[in-house]
Chain A
Amino acid sequence: MSTVKNIFLIDDDKLFTFLLRKTIGLTGIPTSITDFLDGNKALIYLREHSGSPELLPDVIFLDLRMPIMDGWEFLDEYRNIAPILSKPNRLYVFSSSISSYDIERAKTNPNVTDFIIKPILKEKFVEILSA
């Protein structure tokens, strides 16, 4: 089955998103990747396209630390949007944070599938995208 996976990257670190794209490319899994530089931009998009499943993501990678609206603020707002999204998704929080508080807080959020500490290896992407 080779459906194209729709991936949303919410992170302000342009270098990182560039590197991430390259890493995902190395997996050979067909993907469509959309970048958002902060949480607010992603929210606006999701709200706008909540009724169009083909435009909605299969997987969201969310960074915690961003300007304007950080990952936590995004999650607070996302709680209200998730029920109206016409397509289910998995949301991974990734961060360079090694704070156990951040990890615990992210994992107990019902909308978060898992917490991943950067860097993310190719193998992890294979595991996530094949699921």
Chain B
Amino acid sequence: MNTDPTSPLNDITQSSDIWAKALFAIPEKELSDITRLAIMVSGASSSAIAVQEGQFYKLLAGSGEKVAASNIPSTAMPTGGAKTIYVPDLGAKTISEDLRKCFPDEIKAFAGTAIEGYAGNIAGYLLVFRSDGQSFADNQMDGLALLSDQISHLLRLYVEAQSKTVTNALHSEEMMKTIFQKAIDAVVVTDKNCAVLLLNPEAEAMLGWKEEEILGKDFCATCLSGICYDDPGTHEHALMGSENAGKLIETTIATKDRSAIDVELSFTSTTVDGHEYHIYHIIDISEQKRARQKLDEQRQFYENILNNIPIDLAIFNPDHVYQYVNATAIKNEDLRKYIIGKDDFEYARYRGRPSDVAELRRAMFLEAKKTGKEMRWEDKMTAPDGKSITHLRRMFPVFDKTGNLLMMIGLGMDITDRKELEDKQTMLLAKLSQQNVQLSDFCNIVSHNLRAPLVNIAMLSEFIENCGDNEERKQLILSLNNVLDNLNSTFNELVESIQIQEDPDVKSEHLQINKYLQRILESLEPEIVRSGATFTIDIDNAPTIHYPATYFNSILHNLISNALKYRSPERKPEIRISSHRKGNKIFLSVADNGLGIDMQKHKNNFFKIGKVFHHHPDAKGFGLYMIKAHIEALGGKIWVESAPDKGATFHIEFTNQNQ
């Protein structure tokens, strides 16, 4: 007999009762075809199928002359799962009256074979009845058994079909089936306990499961790592709450080979014929996600670059409103966020800064917008630590194909170091060219001030050597001494001048002008007394000066001693010294009423080394050259106003006096 213990319908086959019910459900026509065959096979006069119902076996699909009038008591039928039944003589004394009564008088004997469901459960019997008084032959019984197997088979098919009513219900919707099968996205249908009922081809492709492999498995546990229910025990659906209805949920889904795919999942529940089903709609977004991830990485990459390049970067819309600012430009993240959608004026107000920077930038923006050309400028600002920072700013417009301004790109580079280097280089260059001039000057000085007396000394000594006259010899030696004295003082002056020029980095300090004046006048006292010079001093407007002491002393000494030296023989020297302040500059002047200088003639070589304007024994042409070099080394200026026989006024401008 046919048994199938591995049937998927085990739960249904637990009792014969269910099989019996199923037998009832088989259309009678199909069964009566078999009972007719049973008559022919067994030589019986009639046939029927007996199905137990309560205390009795009901007879179905009867065929032939006469079948039992009513139901057959269960007690008369075999128990304990017997597969065959054979009552050769109903008239025998062992046959109970109850049984005898069930049959018409003509029927003398009957036999039957069992109809089975799975696991040996007996659904009923195929019975044949004889009225000719003969008994059933063995081969007749075998034939009967084959027929009852046939019914068993039919019954099982029928039960299986019945158990798939859900499937049938869904499948019956042809349209839905087509959609389901041809859906571009994967669709999985489960029952309310998440057991898989359906898997469309897309879902098979995505998950790697064939439909028949995954049927009945818990979809949530198998593929969704249990995310769809709060508590695996209750199968309460977290995702099925109303707040998630129709919502796309981004999650990962496990395939058969345990790899994870990024998906978008949506689900709905539906009820068909009173059964609840869950329909999962799954979209593979791993490609999208990878693309998005890559995009994110790229964005991160560029933002990293933009935020870490040592260049301030800002993007403006055509109205000069900030669209983007990198972290180099504004380190503070909150400020960086604040400035987006604002302009420089709002930002300056917000930071409590003056608007001059904003005004300059606006002007540059408008110019770049108007001309379509890049603007470049440098701006200086003071950092919180008080250091001065110089930025090279660039602004250049970006236009679209039709010439409309798309945006303005602003770049700023901290060029403080470069600027400092440049300044240093400029200073070095100035010093170098100054030294170069000094070098050629030195050659001149050596020629004129040292070599000339040496020549005289050489010549003198030769004459002394060859001189026979004692008196003349004495005279010549006196001359030689004079030259030597002169040479010595010239040499000392020269050394002093070079030393002072060697050191332009001398420290500036606050000097009381009056103190220096007194000292100089004291040192020049013999000359002042001799010449009867008078002084007017007017330094109340600027009594102090920020300058290196040695330089200031040298400048003042030179100018005053010049004023005394080049006095007019016709009048007593009147010398006026005054100072006044203008902004961060101090102007100092020394005016005399002496010989004066023809400015027309000497305007170009006034301060040249070795230039002398008068036949004065002490005129060596150093002084003015030297002080000019000192003053200019510190960024100041010196100039002169003069007319012959009227006197001269020397003016000096000292810069950076706001310290």
Contact = CB atoms under 8 A, between A and B. Distances in A.
Partners in one complex: yes
Contact of B614 (A67, A99, A118): A67
Nearest to B480: A15
B463 A98 contact: no
A16 B447 contact: no
Given A96-B451, A118-B451, A118-B452, A19 B460 contact: yes
A13 B612 CA distance: 13
A67 B459 contact: no
B455 interface: yes
Given A22-B463, A99-B440, A65 B448 contact: yes
A97 interface: yes
B456 A19 contact: yes
A15 B447 CA distance: 16
Interface string B602-626: 0000000011111110010000000
Interface in A11-62: 12-13, 15-16, 18-19, 22-23, 37-38
A16 B455 contact: yes
A68 B455 contact: no
A15 B456 contact: yes
B614 A97 contact: no
Contacts of B443: 97-99
A19 B444 contact: no
B363 interface: no
Nearest to A19: B459
B445 to A, nearest CB: 10
A12 B619 CA distance: 12
Interface residues of chain A: helix, strand, loop or mixed (majority): loop
A19 B616 CA distance: 21
Given A23-B459, A37-B615, A99 B444 contact: yes
A29 to B, nearest CB: 18
Contacts of A97: 443-444, 447-448, 451
Contacts of B446: 98
A119 B459 contact: yes
A67 B613 contact: yes
Query: Range of interface residues on chain A?
Result: 20 to 34
Interface in B437-471: 440, 443-444, 446-448, 451-452, 454-456, 458-460, 463
A38 B479 CA distance: 22
Interface in B581-634: 610-616, 619
A98 B448 CA distance: 9
A70 B463 CA distance: 29
Nearest to B617: A14
Contacts of A15: 456, 460, 479, 482-483
Contact of A19 (B463, B611, B612): B463
Interface in A81-131: 95-99, 101-102, 118-119
Contacts of B482: 15
B609 to A, nearest CB: 11
B601 to A, nearest CB: 8
Interface of A: 12-13, 15-16, 18-19, 22-23, 37-38, 65, 67-68, 70, 95-99, 101-102, 118-119
20 contacts: A13-B452, A15-B460, A15-B479, A15-B482, A16-B459, A22-B463, A38-B615, A67-B612, A67-B614, A95-B447, A96-B452, A96-B454, A97-B447, A98-B443, A98-B446, A99-B440, A99-B443, A118-B452, A118-B455, A119-B459
Given A19-B459, A98-B451, 16 more contacts: A12-B615, A13-B452, A15-B460, A15-B483, A22-B463, A23-B459, A37-B615, A38-B615, A67-B612, A96-B452, A97-B443, A98-B443, A99-B444, A99-B447, A118-B452, A119-B458
Which 7 residue pairs of A and B lie closest in terms of their CB atoms, listed nearest first?
A97-B447, A67-B612, A96-B451, A96-B452, A119-B455, A118-B455, A19-B459
